[in-house]
Amino acid sequence: MYKILFLSLITACYTGNLMATEYFVDPTSSAALWVEKNKSDPRALAIRAKIASVPTAIWLSKIHENETELAQQITSYISQADKQKTQLMFVLYALPNRDCSGQASASNTTNSQKYRTWINQLTKTISNTELTIILEPDALADMSCLTPLQRKDRTDLLKYAVTQFKIKSPNAHVYLDAGNMKWQPAKTMAEQLIAAGIKDASGFSLNISNYYATEPTIKYGEDINRFLMALIGIKSNMIIDTSRNGHGAPALPNQWCNPLGRKIGEGPKDISATVKTAWIKPPGESDGDFSPTANCHGGPKAGVFSPDLAIRLIKGE
């Protein structure tokens, strides 16, 4: 009896246990569309089997000026996922001053009010649909390139998004992004997550678009949770991007832009009641074609699918 009570108390500390989830396979993903248009290409079979057939997050990275257009896009995805009996995973990636340090994925969002309006439109369309939201990769980890006023604005926008989803889309599982294990100290990240509203979110995400191995990433997440428990009395669920971590991270620093020798990682699964892995960065989509901080190894513009990059990840080259 004491063992059961102890386990119940541990579970109660978390912001809500994760449930086993089968995620949506997008038939219109960049990899799937490339395969459809290039069926005779000798790379097509491998890309279809190893990448296009694996559930992968859908990135929403452009502010739609037309609310109807956005609603139609989201509604279409919801309908398709319902037919598959799977759950959507959206990545919201449209904050002002996005990627201010790397500059490979700059945002088209010009002001904070446009971003709030976009969030309002999303929550209205999503309504009570159950799905997963990864909120703004790198936003908290990559703030050293912002002014103090811009940092406050970013934190306020993230907290606004978390709050709006909780109120208007209560079945959305929202994960604030916590960067990667080598970016910010765990205590610093815990403090930033608290400021951005982690108490009202489902958890935090790690390793998005990065290459660090799963086990040490979990350890970093556990360190964050220890600080969250000490500071506000909660532990959060975590979801880890494993789409490109099959060989772990490059040995040399600043090798984040289409680095050589990386490999696709293990597919989505539940590691525990509070830890999931998922493919969040679509393998084969470029990290960028230029950055002042890294060699992009001949990749196309950020987000553009490259069969050459895809095959390199499949083969681990």
Q: What is the mean pLDDT of the chain?
A: 92
pLDDT band at 4 (very low <50, low <70, confident <90, very high): very low
The yes-or-no answer on residue 308 being catalytic is no
Does residue 288 form part of some domain?
yes
Residue 2 has pLDDT above 50, yes or no: no
Q: Per-residue pLDDT averaged across 15-27, rounded?
A: 81
| Contact (CB, 8 A) for 269 and 277 | yes
Q: Residue 173: is its pLDDT beyond 50?
A: yes
d(CA 175, CA 136): 9
The one catalytic residue among 26, 153, 241, 287: 287
**Catalytic pick from 138, 153, 177, 241?**
138
Residue 21's pLDDT is 83
Percent of the chain surpassing pLDDT 70: 90
> Per the domain annotation, does 20 fall within a domain?
no
The pLDDT assigned to 105 comes to 52
Give me the mean pLDDT over the 260-265 stretch. 97
Question: Which pTM does this prediction carry?
Answer: 0.92
pLDDT of residue 254: 84
Packing angle, helices 67-84 and 112-126, rounded to 10: 40
Q: Is residue 182 part of a domain?
A: yes
- Domain hosting 233: range is 29-315
In a domain, 22, yes or no: no
**pLDDT band, residue 99 (cuts 50/70/90):** low
d(CA 174, CA 204) in angstroms, rounded, equals 8
Q: What is the mean pLDDT of residues 114-125?
A: 96
pLDDT at residue 110 in the model: 66
Whether 19 is covered by a domain: the verdict is: no
Please report, in range form, the residues annotated as the binding site.
59, 183, 210, 256, 281, 285
The reported pLDDT for the residue numbered 16 is: 67
Beta bridge partners of 173: 132
| CB contact at 8 A, 91 and 62 | no
Write the CA distances from 11 to 14, 31, 171, 274, integer angstroms.
Answer: 6, 39, 20, 9
Comparing 6 with 198, which gets the higher pLDDT? 198
With respect to residue 12, please indicate whether it lies within any of the assigned structural domains.
Answer: no
- Annotated binding residues for substrate, written as ranges, equal 59, 183, 210, 256, 281, 285
Q: Tally the domains of the chain.
A: 1
* CATH number assigned to the domain comprising residue 296: 3.20.20.40
Confidence bin at 11 (pLDDT 50/70/90):
very low
Task: Let me know if 289 is a catalytic residue.
Answer: no
User: Model confidence at 300, in pLDDT bands (50, 70, 90)?
Assistant: very high
Strands (E), the chain: 58-60, 89-92, 131-135, 172-177, 203-206, 237-241, 269-270, 275-278
User: 14 lies in a domain?
Assistant: no
pLDDT category of residue 113 using cuts at 50, 70 and 90: very high
Quote the pLDDT of residue 1: 43
| pLDDT tens figures, 37-75 | 999 999 999 999 999 999 999 999 888 778 899 999 999
Would residue 282 count as lying in a domain?
Answer: yes
